Chains A and B, each alone.
Chain A
């Protein structure tokens, strides 16, 4: 037993656990809650409404005159109230469902969505010498050499949750939702996978941390304005990069089942699609899974195309990352930068959802197979030709 314990790297174990808890429970979970709030407020702005603006810290319950509105923005406590509502609602299980799979499905949706965050580099490194750690701690849970593939692999398991939810509900509309969703996700996984091949060819790396470091020194893939980014090659490469960014983002919308591609829960045709029979916290888990997948997808897009945690024009400002020699404040600034970019991306997701109409299912499949797939494939060839022309 003692030798077993001695074989553990205690520092690594503790820092990993701290990183996992920080990222999933202190960042992504609250982010999910506040994405829902942002979605409701932002959609209200788009539709010229007010949105949820009343919920504050309810001091009136305790006999005081006024509720406290945090920062003067109305409704910031709304996500907490929503969560409480979900916990207190009746958890109703219809009599005809397949009970085991009916319970399993919500878990299968949220677990893969949260697991994928393991390889996302959410910051450069933290110099924790104040706590007595000799080596700086890398701000990524698992620094795998197959980062993007890991994310795709685990995210592709998320489809099981939706399919099983639709099937186990033993009801027509959820079933149709589940079938649609599995067809859609498999189709768009192809273009999603192919769209990042040009990116991998340019970096020559499958490690997300190394991609971020490269972009920090040589300009973001979509913003090559410093370091080696000013070379002609990078500017010519901007053409395939922009194409692959567009394909990636569209495929990501389809993979996360977001409007305009939310065929699995298309209200006009399928009531609420695969989660029609679900109520209370089980329903909320599907919701959280969708938003968590959205955050991770944004994280992937940010890491590969928009420099990850890198600060724009970092080498010019003297804020660039030096391996093993980054002060603590810069490490924290990198983490803040990463999440700021993700927030920006989520607002973009919401803007798209409330401005585009929903596709028809056959249009969706046609777009996936007859346009996106071909564009992604041609883009790979184009990138290869450019790389060879510049003699890489």
Chain B
């Protein structure tokens, strides 16, 4: 059953991903991308990564794509629909996709086959509880549930705290830059 659902959601993700490129109507493209994100989120959920899956929907499908749609709707759709295929863009896209595929293949081929089967290496959550100091995570693990949100939070704010702040600063600089650029310059006599 899980594998059946995997193929269903993989099909949704890829099918709508294809629609993003092929659709002539920009609104259809944007909505297909949102749908593709939802399919991807479902794949995350099937891996027990509830937090990542939900954040995928909340941030990408719920906020980023709404902003995209907001901009697209202000455009003139009719003129966009009438455009014929741009050969340069198609060639560029195919080359880029090929490069990415080669890259993924190179990375994947550098890993040998694992020594144990996934079916044999069962998740032992209660045993994992011994390795954590935080009581709230240990309690969840002993109860047999994976506290994925807490684990993500712990590694993000403890292990990668510095990196997180650097990214935060980067985003702040970007925001300030946008504000400066979009501010109308005052008329100088």
Taking beta carbons and an 8 Å cutoff, which residues of A are in contact with B?
4, 7-8, 101, 144-146, 149-150, 152-154, 156-157, 159-160, 163-164, 167, 175, 178-179, 182-183, 185-186, 189, 204-206
- B residues in contact with A183, CB < 8 Å: 70
State how many angstroms separate the Cβ of B48 from the closest Cβ of chain A: 10
B73 at the interface (CB under 8 A from A): yes
Dominant SS at the B interface?
Answer: helix
B27→A101 contact, CB < 8 A: yes
A121 to B111, CA, bound (A): 45
Q: How far is the CA of A252 from the CA of B55 in the complex (A)?
A: 20
- On chain B, the residues within 8 Å of A163 by CB distance are 66, 69-70, 73
Are A160 and B66 within 8 A (Cβ)? yes
Interface size on B, residues (CB 8 A): 27
- Report whether A157 and B50 are in contact in the complex, using a CB–CB cutoff of 8 Å: no
Question: Among the interface residues A101, A156, A179, which one has the most CB atoms of the partner chain B within 10 A?
Answer: A156
List 3 A-B pairs, minimum CB-CB distance, nearest first.
Answer: A156-B62, A153-B58, A153-B57
Interface check B147, CB cutoff 8 A: yes
| A-B interface pairs (CB < 8 A), number | 75
Q: Does A146 contact B73, Cβ atoms closer than 8 Å?
A: no
Which among B57, B70, B136, B150 is the interface contact of A182 at CB below 8 angstroms?
B70
In the complex, chain B residues whose CB is within 8 Å of the CB of A182: 66-67, 69-70
* Any A CB within 8 A of the CB of B31: yes
B34 in contact (CB, < 8 A): yes
B125: chain A residues at CB < 8 Å are none
A175's nearest neighbour on chain B, judged by CB, is: B73
Known interface pairs A163-B70, A167-B27; A146-B63 also in contact (CB < 8 Å): no
**Beta-carbon contact of A150 and B54 below 8 Å:** yes
Shortest distance between the CB of B44 and any CB in chain A (Å): 11
Q: How far is the CA of A297 from the CA of B150 in the complex (A)?
A: 25
Q: How far is the CB of A331 from chain B (nearest CB, A)?
A: 21
Complex Cα–Cα for A205 and B148 (A): 12
Contact partner of A153 (CB less than 8 A), chosen from B1, B62, B136, is: B62
Asked if residues A7 and B66 are in contact (CB atoms below 8 Å), the reply is no
User: CB-nearest residue of chain A relative to B136?
Assistant: A204
* A–B Cβ pairs within 8 angstroms, 13 of them: A145-B148, A146-B51, A146-B149, A149-B54, A149-B58, A152-B58, A153-B57, A156-B61, A156-B66, A160-B34, A163-B66, A182-B66, A183-B70
